[in-house]
Amino acid sequence: MSITVLIVDDSAFMRQMIKQMLTTDPEIEVVGVAVNGRDALKKIQVYNPQVITLDLEMPEMDGLQFLAELMRVNPLPVVVVSSLAVKGGEQTFHALQLGAVDFITKPDAKPSKEIWSIQEELILKVKAAASVSPEQIKNLPSPAAVESIPFHPEIKKGVVAIGASTGGPRALSFLIANLPKDFPWGIIIAQHLPKEFVYSFASRLDSISLLKVKVAEDGEEVLPGKVLIAPSGLQTGVIRKGEKYLIKLAESTALYRPSADYLFNSVAENFGAQSIGVLLTGMGADGAYGLKMMRKAGSITIAESPETCVIYGMPRAAVEIGAASLQLPLTAIPKRLSMLLQEKASELKNQ
């Protein structure tokens, strides 16, 4: 059976282009189009689509208003296709928080050659969205009040490495916002994102977190309570210089830049047992083998369990090869990270 899609965009040109792109794939059927959110809510009742592509900037009822109403009355997988994915990073994050599965940056230019550049990504993300159930796209619980946790000073020589893809921005918003301000290890995140979006992503996480969040720079020191986001288009690893651990950025032609596998392998080599690996929601298998290397090096390794994954691809791949020492729902991961470090602190006190 074909994946049925409703296209929501106020531009007749974009509705036609998105339809042409999607219908080149025999597994996808465009069943209807809508000119704004209000129109889309009516068309959903008529066409009952499996997936919706959504522009954010529309008259009468914009994309965010539509998403809020859709998730209230009839949750469905939504892929945002909007130029605001870059120009209005905050609106894109809001869309993901409301329940959008993923987003694609719509080229500003009108020539069809520019527009067709997103075809492969669009088809891939629509197919992935079709596998997401309504339960998986409901809002995550809001971050609770986070308490400070006393840690032994020696516990500060470690790192939490996190990999994520589809569904990752929303998952990371929950995870990072639920960590205490005195979290004693540095955190490095490899999240698959368009290059133009990384700084908006880091800024958004920084605004909702008690920790300092920024995009990683070459030579930057990994420090307690600092969250470093791997820049897109490069590989991010760590090196040791004396007592310091520094970020090392590298050019790469690999499919994923940044790659969770690359980050995890580097952490396994340089931090060993003084690290925790976390693999969150995402398509494909990036991070699975790197997480296994971390586990072999003595790290505690966590894979997000399927009940909270938007896409249970990357975590599943890790579980299948024995890379994960723990499987946890996203809602349990922040507290478990703090508990694991408290246990390490207790071991140090008793030595």
Tens-digit pLDDT profile for residues 294-327: 999 999 999 999 999 999 999 999 999 999 999 9
User: Beta partners for 304?
Assistant: 328
Percent of the chain at pLDDT > 70 equals: 91
- Catalytic hit among 62, 192, 266, 299: 192
Q: Is 326 helix (H, G, I), strand (E, B) or coil?
A: strand
Q: What mean pLDDT do residues 38-49 have?
A: 97
- Give 266-296 pLDDT, tens digit per residue: 999 999 999 999 999 999 999 999 999 999 9
pTM of the model: 0.91
pLDDT of residue 133 exceeding 90: no
Residues 6+ apart with CB under 8 A from 152: 344, 345, 346, 348, 349
- Catalytic hit among 10, 55, 82, 165: 165
192 is catalytic: yes
Which band of pLDDT confidence, cut at 50, 70 and 90, is reported for residue 91? Answer: confident
Q: Which of 12-21, 103-112, 143-152, 250-259 has the lowest mean pLDDT?
A: 143-152
Q: What is the pLDDT of residue 342?
A: 84
Distance CA(265)–CA(91), nearest Å, equals 34
User: Beta partners for 6?
Assistant: 32, 52
pLDDT of residue 145 exceeding 70: no
pLDDT of residue 143 exceeding 90: no
User: What backbone torsions phi and psi does residue 273 show, to the nearest 5 degrees?
Assistant: -70, -15
39 is catalytic: no
pLDDT of residue 232 exceeding 60: yes
- Give 265-274 pLDDT, tens digit per residue: 999 999 999 9
- Catalytic hit among 9, 10, 102, 286: 286
Does residue 44 contact residue 68 with C-beta atoms inside 8 Å? no
286 is catalytic: yes
Q: What is the pLDDT of residue 6?
A: 98
Domain 3-137, what fold? Answer: Rossmann fold (3.40.50)
Alpha helices in 110-219 (DSSP H): 112-115, 119-130, 168-177, 198-208
Q: Which CATH superfamily is domain 153-349 in?
A: Methylesterase CheB, C-terminal domain (3.40.50.180)
Q: What is the pLDDT of residue 1?
A: 80
Tokens 């938007």 belong to 310
Percent of the chain at pLDDT > 90 equals: 71
Tokens of 198: 């990384």
Does residue 26 contact residue 3 with C-beta atoms inside 8 Å? no
DSSP output for 233-267: TSEEEEEEETTEEEEEEE---SSSSS-HHHHHHHH
Q: What is the pLDDT of residue 150?
A: 66
Q: What is the pLDDT of residue 87?
A: 56
Sheet containing 102-105, strands listed edge to edge, beginning at the edge strand earlier in sequence: 28-34, 3-8, 51-54, 78-82, 102-105
Q: What mean pLDDT do residues 31-47 have?
A: 97
Q: What mean pLDDT do residues 16-23 have?
A: 95
pLDDT of residue 82 exceeding 70: yes
Q: Which of 153-157, 160-164, 170-174, 231-235 has the lowest mean pLDDT?
A: 153-157
Tokens of 225: 């309570």
- Give 52-70 pLDDT, tens digit per residue: 999 999 999 999 999 999 9
Q: What is the pLDDT of residue 328?
A: 96
Which band of pLDDT confidence, cut at 50, 70 and 90, is reported for residue 107? Answer: confident
Q: What is the pLDDT of residue 271?
A: 94
Q: What is the pLDDT of residue 233?
A: 92
pLDDT of residue 85 exceeding 60: no
How far, in Å, are 9, 115, 178, 318 from residue 14 at the CA level? 7, 9, 39, 38
How far, in Å, are 80, 128, 157 from residue 275 at the CA level? 35, 31, 9
- Give 189-224 pLDDT, tens digit per residue: 999 988 878 998 999 999 999 999 999 999 999 999
Domain(s) of CATH 3.40.50.2300: residues in the chain:
3-137
**Mean pLDDT of all residues belonging to the chain:** 90
